[in-house]
Chains A and B, each alone.
Chain A
Amino acid sequence: MGENISVDIARAIKLIIDVIRTFLITRFGGAIAPAKSSRLPRRYLAVMATESTLAGQENERKRKLHGRAFYESIGSPKLVLAPMVEQSEFVCLIASL
């Protein structure tokens, strides 16, 4: 819990710095020396590294497979559970109130 908050703070700081940098560049032009983001305390970085983003995971399988190669990549399933008709339109109904 405590670690998560630290991570969030670290992310927030990083985000603010990035925004300021972007603003400076767009406002005044030119380039700025590379950020020294590695100055973040090591323990923050370690925690951040343990939680991958979904984008990171998607990048790992960026290469799209086709046909049998795809089938084998998901474990060559022999059992397939068919689509069932959705049984709840209730939320839509409420949303239309």
Chain B
Amino acid sequence: MSHRIFVATLANNVRGLTRSSSQAWRLLSRSFLPESQQKSLLAYTPMFHSKMFGEKSNYRDAHFQPLKSTIPSPVDDYHLSQLRDSDRHLDGNPAFDRPLTVQFCSNDPDDFLRAAKHVAPFCDAVDLNLGCPQGIAKRGKYGAFLQEDWDLISRMIRKLHEELDIPVTAKMRVLETPEKTLAYAKTLLDAGASIITVHGRRREQKGHNTGLADWKMIRHLRENLPKDTVIFANGNILQHEDIAACLEATGADGVMSAEGNLYDPTIFAPPPPVGQEGREYWRGRDGKGGYRMDAVMRRYMDIIHRYALGQEPPQRKPLWMPGDVDEPVEQENGRSEDADDEEGPPKKKRKQMSKSEKKKEASNPNLTAMQAHLFHLLRPLVAEHHNVRDALARSRTADIDAFENVLALVEKAVKEGIQKYELEHVNDAAPVSATEDTSTSPSTEPLDPYESSLATVARVKRPYWVCQPYVRPLPKEAIEKGSMTMSKKEKKRLEMEAEQAVQKGDEQVKDVGLVPEGRVEEKGFLKDGEKEEVVVVEEPRDGLVCG
């Protein structure tokens, strides 16, 4: 087998799992909305590098798969006329992945247009990222580091506005003053941006200096831009309740959730009414709850099976919930077909895989994206159940069975947690109606950042088995909190624990390849001829939102 054919074969096998991770996550996020609302969630793709995307077909194929075949280049009417609906693949598929905006970073109008033309037939709009604050964006001169060069930004947006078949939108950060921010937003709109997404943080606000997004600045834009301007607000969305608060405070048309969704993909879904939790949602006696991690991971795994691997997911028993009768012994052989047995602990019934399937998955060496998503989703759970953490960490290069095993462990951990909770609260009243205290939502908090983030931690904290945002308490307030309620000794112990937990968390994140400062990859791409050209591509930090 020639070297190049081997590479192509391998790449094809890998394509499925690696690339569809973000598409699978979009599907997962939509799946929690009522059917009628699934189309009312506008999703953005990850940010692609416009120069690479426009020039390298293998970069395109690796990052965006609207078709089962490669994206035709150029994408003209003739090529499109040769395509049929049945040629569509995952990204931008009208059946389940729309509306969709494809996002690029760019610093050249021609690059931007060339890249955009390749995706225009498969999405609803193209977005220019002007918000990425990371060091690599600085070195590559894109993202938020263009915000001094309004002329270049205008030329890029105008180019697409005039020459692309679909609308162009832009995502910006706020600047130092309301006046400057308004002038900046006007520049984007005048150049032809159909929608502006405004992140309420300045470029400097990242890492430890993240702080709170400034919703007032977005409000200022709303009140001073023409009334029909479409504005999306971005920042401070930690849980579902924050969406309504943000719409109210900013007057924006839509709310974009970034990291909030990464930790809690159910964030867009309204909680079910009290008494209608079903098996997937858990509500505590205090009325606070969330979607169960085992339920969410099941859905995620099913999507991976169905869309990335193209196979039916294994049959699953109904999720365990309090009141179910425990079946004491694992059923190894006999009675294996009573799948519709409603009662009983979650047991994996794994479909026996054919040899060829196993081989295919063995050549699917990189499940890093799935793993990273799951570490975010399961963060509070793996902090308490180290067996789950270890199993997930080991799943890095393993096949789908390893992840199924993690799911089984997650189901067990969730069950343990809920059972313990039930025992401890056996005499409490039934769940009350959820009384989220909206007065503590970020917009109306007059507290200093330390105190407000302390309040935020308290507000969003949930038991480890339900999805929740991750808010790292600042060291200062952790100490303050301790001194108010605990003895010195106890305080010391808790501080140590908290520190270790945070460190451990960071290690886990590093373990799965989420390096803090992004990564530099040297990638060779075959240029027109046979000569190999090494292109250094810096990609932003994994698992974070770039804007």
Contact = CB atoms under 8 A, between A and B. Distances in A.
B58 interface: yes
Interface stretch (A22-30, A36-44, A72-80): A72-80
Interface stretch (B175-183, B226-234, B309-317): B226-234
Contacts of A76: 40, 253
A54 B83 contact: yes
Nearest to B265: A81
Contacts of A64: 165-167
B255 A80 contact: yes
9 contacts: A67-B230, A76-B40, A80-B41, A80-B43, A81-B268, A82-B257, A83-B45, A83-B47, A86-B47
Given A83-B545, A93-B523, A54 B80 contact: yes
B81 A53 contact: yes
Contacts of B161: 66
Q: Which of A56, A64, A92 has the most CB of B within 10 A?
A: A92
B31 interface: no
Contact of B544 (A71, A75, A85): A85
B221 interface: no
For this complex, into which size category does the number of interface residues on chain A fall? 35 or more
Q: Which of A66, A88, A94 has the most CB of B within 10 A?
A: A88
Contacts of A68: 228-230
Contacts of A53: 80-85
Contacts of B305: none
B108 interface: no
Contact of B125 (A70, A86, A87, A89): A70
Interface residues of B, number: 94
Contact of A80 (B81, B197, B366, B368): B197
A85 B42 contact: no
Contact of B228 (A51, A67, A96): A67
Given A85-B546, A87-B372, A80 B82 contact: no
A21 B400 CA distance: 53
Nearest to B94: A57
Contacts of A1: none
B96 interface: no
B540 interface: yes
Given A84-B543, A89-B521, A55 B77 contact: yes
Interface in B1-46: 3, 7, 10-11, 14-15, 18-19, 21-22, 25-26, 29, 33, 37, 39-46
Contact of B254 (A77, A87, A90): A77
Contacts of A55: 77, 80-81, 83
A54 B44 contact: no
A74 B255 contact: no
Given A52-B85, A81-B256, A84-B262, 9 more contacts: A74-B42, A78-B255, A83-B546, A85-B540, A87-B22, A89-B537, A92-B62, A95-B7, A95-B524
Contacts of B365: 90
A80 to B, nearest CB: 4
A32 to B, nearest CB: 22
Interface in B136-192: 161, 165-167, 192
Contacts of B87: 54
B243 A79 contact: yes
A51 B41 contact: no
Given A70-B194, A94-B14, A82 B261 contact: yes
